[in-house]
Amino acid sequence: MNLKRSRFSQILAGILVNAIYEMKNYPIVTLSAVISPLSLLAVVAFVSSGDLLGTAIAGGLIMLFFSSGIALQSDLSHLKNDFKLQDMIVSSPASAKMYLAGMSIAELVYSIPGIAILIALAAIYIQPSLLQVAIFGSVLFLMFTLSTAIGFMLATFSSDVVQSYAFSRLLSLLFATLPPVYYPITLVPYPFNYLAYLSPTTYAAEIMHWSIGALELSAMHLFIDWVVLIGACVIIMFVAVKKSRWRDV
């Protein structure tokens, strides 16, 4: 019982430090996190005269969950380099897993306003079934897990928060903005459609677009999308565990 309470306290501390404090004292930061996915959604919806609204909502969710995980990098780097928090955690009974869990959940808490808006839009315009909700939830969980692993690994190597912010913006651009997540991949001309498959977010978007009927996929293609997405998540998590520097910083 005491062990469970201790773990809960460690996770709660991460949420308080990395989410509640910023949301309470710097609401403009929360506003910025909400505007980014919604702005691209609005652009795609307006340009397509509303025809791609469903895919744009799915893309907004993908971008928000992926960006939330990547944002962990800059937050961890800030706390590690500027406040030496990681040094204190290393010398305490807290484990890297509990530290990462608390900080990761904090990123989701931080993104709750944007998530709530996108879920409301999905409920109104997509009206997903229970199966579609399950597919969306599974894909977004994999996206967040994958991006969190990347963010944590890069944060342990980062020596300056400015460098971390640059990496976060670059990775969000490469994985969540440039790939066809807000619109079907069928709109990407050759040969750029093949380049899009270098990003795991493309596979996530294909699954979600297929689930709402915006994209036709064969059973084999859909199976490959799931395999690649799950495989990428497992591989990146394995690399993050092996290559992350926790105590040697």
For the chain, what is the mean pLDDT? 80
Q: Convert the pLDDT of each residue in 124-136 to its tens digit.
A: 999 999 999 999 9
Q: What is the C-alpha separation between 191 and 170, in angstroms, rounded?
A: 23
Spans of all domains in the chain = 2-243
Q: Give the CB-side neighbour count of residue 173, counting CA atoms within 13 A.
A: 6
Residue 201 corresponds to which tokens in the numbers above? 């977010």
pTM assigned to the model: 0.84
Higher pLDDT, 137 or 12: 137
